[in-house]
Structure 1
Amino acid sequence: MIRFRARLALFAMMAIFLATASNALFMQDRARLFDPNGLPSTSVSVTQFPHDKASPIAPAVSGGGIQQVSLPAAKGPRMHVALYRELGQRGYSEQLRQGDNGLRLAVLAYQFDNAMPLTGEPTNELLKRVLFDPNHGPHGAFADRAELNAKLVIETQKALLGLGFFRGTFSGRLDVWTANAIKDFERHRGLPVTGRLTDQTLLELIAFSGQPMLPAAG
C-alpha cells in the first residue's frame, strides 16, 4: 500500500512538472507573436510559406478555382511596391505584367472600376484606399468595360476633339468616327493600333491631354 501511494505521488509530481513546462513554452511563443499592446506582431508569422523575392505571386480566378500568377519583380519607391503587391492580389495582374507602365495601367483600371477620376498615378491616398478594399477587379478585357461607359466615351471624344483627332458628335458610343479617331491617335503616339478604349490607349490619352477623366459609376 505504501509503495502504491509513493508511485501515485511520483506520477502526480511528474504531471505537474510537465504541465508547468508546457505552459512556460506556450507563453514564450505567445510573447513572440504579440507586441506589448496585445496586438499581433508583424515580425513573426505563425505560418511561413516559401517566398520568391524575384517573382511576386498574385491569385487569379480561373475555372472556379484560384491559380497562382507570377508577376515581374516590383521596383521603385516602397509605396509603389506596396501598391503593386496589393493590386496584384486584387485581380489586376494582367495590367501589372505590361512592362514599365504596368503599375500605372493597374492603377487606371482600379480607378475605373471604382468610378474614380482616371489619372493612372500611384499615390499614398490610393494605396490607403486599396488596403481597406477587399474586392477583386472584374473579369474580362478592360476595353469591353470601358466602352460600355457612355460618360467615359464622351470624355474620350472630347479629349480627341481637343487634340484634333475627332470630327464626329458626342454620342457616348464607340462609333466608327470615334474608332477612327482613336486609331489616328494611336498611330500618332506609336501605340498598337486597335481603335478601342484599351487601358494603354486611355492612359496615353490622359497623359497627352493633361486632363483626368471621370467615368460614370457602375
Structure 2
Amino acid sequence: MSQRNKLLDVAYCAVFAALIIVFAFVSIPVGALGVPIVLQNAVIILAGLVLGARRGFLSVALFLVIGLVLPVLAGGRTVISALGGPTVGYIVGYLISAFVAGLIAYRARPGRRGEQIGWFILAAALALLTQYACGIVGLMISSRIGLAAAAGGQIPFLLPDTLKCVVMVIVALGVHAAFPDLLRRPNRARDTDARDRVH
C-alpha cells in the first residue's frame, strides 16, 4: 500500500470517527432496560458499508478509544461508564458490526448497481443483527436477566433500526456511486496480492 493510500485510510477513519461522535447528540430513551434509540449504531454500520471491514473497524475503534476519556456515546456518556451498564454488549457489537458490514458489502463489484444493492442490504441486516446479538448477551450479563427478556427488549428498536439501516444503505450506495474507487482499490490490492502469490 502506498503512502498516499495509507494517509487516505487514516483520513477516512478519522472522518467517520468524528461522524459517529457527532451523532451522539441523538438519543431517545425507550423501554425498561435502559437502552435508548440512537443514531450512532446506524452510522457505525454506514462506516462499514462505505469503508470496508478493516477501515470500518478502525474508525469505530478510534471512536471508542476517544470515548475512554471524552463523553462520545449517546446520552453524553464515556465508554468507561457504559462498560458497567446495560449497553456494554452494544459497545462490543459496534466494533464487530462495522467489520461485518464492510466484509459483506465489499463483496460487491464496482459498477454493478443491482449487485451492490443486494450485498449492501445483506451487509446492513447482518451488521444490525450482530449488534442485537451482542446487546442481548450484554444485557443478560449486566442486568442478570434471561434470554427471553433480553431478546424481548430489542423489539421496540426493530422498526426504527430497520428504517435507519435503509437510509444508511441508500447513503452508502450514493457515496460509492460518487467515489467508486472506495470499492475498487481494496479489490485491486487483493487481486495484486493473489497474483504475487501465484508468481
TM-score tier after normalising by the smaller chain length: under 0.3
TM-score norm. by structure 1 comes to 0.21
**Bigger Rg, which one:** 1
Higher relative contact order (CA 8 A, sep 6+): 2
TM-score norm. by structure 2 comes to 0.22
More helix by share: 2
